[in-house]
Amino acid sequence: MSYTTDNPTLNTGVVNTLFGRRQIFTSVDVITRDNVISVVNEALSCHILNLCEEDYLYWYRRGLQPILARKKEIRPEINNKIVVNNANQVVVFKNGYFLTKPAFYVSRKEDEEITQKVKELNEYLYTSGKQQADNEVVNWFHTVGVGALLIEPNRENRPTKPVNVYSLDPRSAFVVYSLRPGNRPVMGVNMVIVDDEKVKLDVFTEDAVYRISGGIRGRMVTNDPVVEATAISVDSVEPNPVGEIPIVEYTYNENRMGAFENAIPLMDAINLAESNRLDGVEQFIQSLCVAVNCDFEEGVNANTIRQAGMIKLKNYGENKADFKILSEQLDQSQTQVTIDDLYTQMLEKCAVPSSVRDGGSTSDNVGAVYLRSGWALADTAARNTEDLFKVANKRFDKVFLNILKRKTGLEIDIDDFELQFTRNEMSNLLVKTQGAMNMKELGFAPEIAFARSGLSNDPLNDIAISRKYIDAKWGANDNAEVIDENRTDLVADGLGGEVV
């Protein structure tokens, strides 16, 4: 679905409604050919509101921001429109920090058979295109708050690639959820605009795929946004070969807001301050002149004076001629203080680290700098997003495993593995290793020490690979002395008494 126009304009009508995308619900439990049109139309009325906001955020991140519509009443010829585009900076950082490396599956059990199946699962995950799709989904939900994936069996007869995974534009794809506890998905919808008046909708339920024709009114970008989309007729109904809803939604946070959405007023203020600063410089260079009691020769006007660069004056009587230049200059240092304050607040709201807060070179340790510079805040936000990503990915896993079982015969329980993110493996490495060594001295198992200290993102796999070295350092499990806590016949050293 394409939203590109040659000359996009700014939709200022949605600026005051950016509070996160609406989750779409229905009270209908079972979708049939008889009720699918009415349920889809009810969902579209909510989706169109999301679409307009998502489209605004998409173009805002691209640089189409309110400052470009700025108008000045005084000296309108000096009207700089500076787009700093901090929104793009936030999204680029979030994308790179959240997915430093592709996410992958790890085994949750120490079972060789399960571990081998997880390795096969990761191979299929790689060939399906999921890792590239994840990058696109993450980019979408950092921009507009929501991302979507489509999973389908590969139509080509390729044993090494039984599944295809694609990222969908959230402006065209959405999922409708049940109002019942648990809010299970009821249907997934992908909307394709054919022309200015026609739209095609693919509606996926667990049992069927409905091909629907409809109408649409309005444009994508913006002063004339999509104001209405209507499902009209069911063209065909096909069985769903997957047996699950193949569209999965991912969100950046529980409010379904973009990464920079709550800081848009600060970003607009920074754009305005930078534009006014440049206006001040330009107005100083192009200062106004005031002529008092001046009688110019015939044919001399402002343009003549500007070209000549000088003026000759003559006094008549008591009225002295005076020619002045208004040269008040903006205080750049105070302006920079204001911009730095706005910029710092913006980064804090977006959970993005900054060198502005470092305060130059200090003697603080790594942990203090990590907290003060905002890296701890960035990591906390990434972990929250990671939890939401894993919840949504469980729905992806159901579809993925269903297709693999039918096409390759691979069977593995969905609880035998989990999605793992690789992030910050080398940061604070000395602290992590010291923590692991301290837990070793206290008698913790290596799996616990590696996980609790943050030394490894996949403790079970890393320990399995390094088993002989771990046993050499940690000691083999067979040599560990097991003490029964219920025994009462242990004699305390040097006391000769019984320990009760």
Say whether pLDDT at 467 is over 60. Answer: yes
Task: Kindly report, residue by residue over 201-244, the tens digit of the pLDDT.
Answer: 999 999 999 999 998 876 543 445 556 788 999 999 999 988 99
Tokens read off for 78: 């000096």
- Residue 493 confidence class, pLDDT cut points 50, 70, 90: very low
Question: Given this model, what pLDDT does residue 485 score?
Answer: 46
Average pLDDT of the residues of the chain: 82
Tokens read off for 260: 């920079």
**Residue 282 neighbours by CB under 8 Å, 6+ apart:** 78, 80
* DSSP character string of 354-368: -SGGG-SS----HHH
Question: Given this model, what pLDDT does residue 320 score?
Answer: 72
- Residue 405 confidence class, pLDDT cut points 50, 70, 90: very high
The number of beta carbons lying within 10 Å of the beta carbon of residue 167 is 22
Tokens read off for 251: 């969100």
Question: Given this model, what pLDDT does residue 498 score?
Answer: 47
Say whether pLDDT at 490 is over 60. Answer: no
Task: Kindly report, residue by residue over 303-356, the tens digit of the pLDDT.
Answer: 666 665 555 556 666 667 666 665 566 677 888 888 999 999 999 999 999 766
> Rounded to whole angstroms, how far apart are CA atoms 69 and 84?
15
Task: Kindly report, residue by residue over 409-425, the tens digit of the pLDDT.
Answer: 999 999 999 998 877 65
> Rounded to whole angstroms, how far apart are CA atoms 146 and 255?
10
Question: Given this model, what pLDDT does residue 354 score?
Answer: 79
Of 170, 229, 226, 174, the residue nearest 198 (C-alpha): 229
Task: Kindly report, residue by residue over 279-294, the tens digit of the pLDDT.
Answer: 887 776 665 566 666 6
Q: Which parts of 289-374 fold into alpha helices (H)?
A: 302-308, 332-350, 366-372
> Rounded to whole angstroms, how far apart are CA atoms 474 and 468?
10
Question: Given this model, what pLDDT does residue 430 score?
Answer: 77
* Least confident span in 99-103, 286-290, 299-303: 286-290
**Which range has the top average pLDDT, 150-159, 161-170, 436-445, 477-486?**
161-170
**Residue 143 neighbours by CB under 8 Å, 6+ apart:** 57, 58, 61, 91, 258, 259
- CB of 417 within 8 A of CB of 120? no
Tokens read off for 421: 């993110």
Measured over the CA atoms of residue 369, residue 370, residue 371 and residue 375, the dihedral's sign is positive
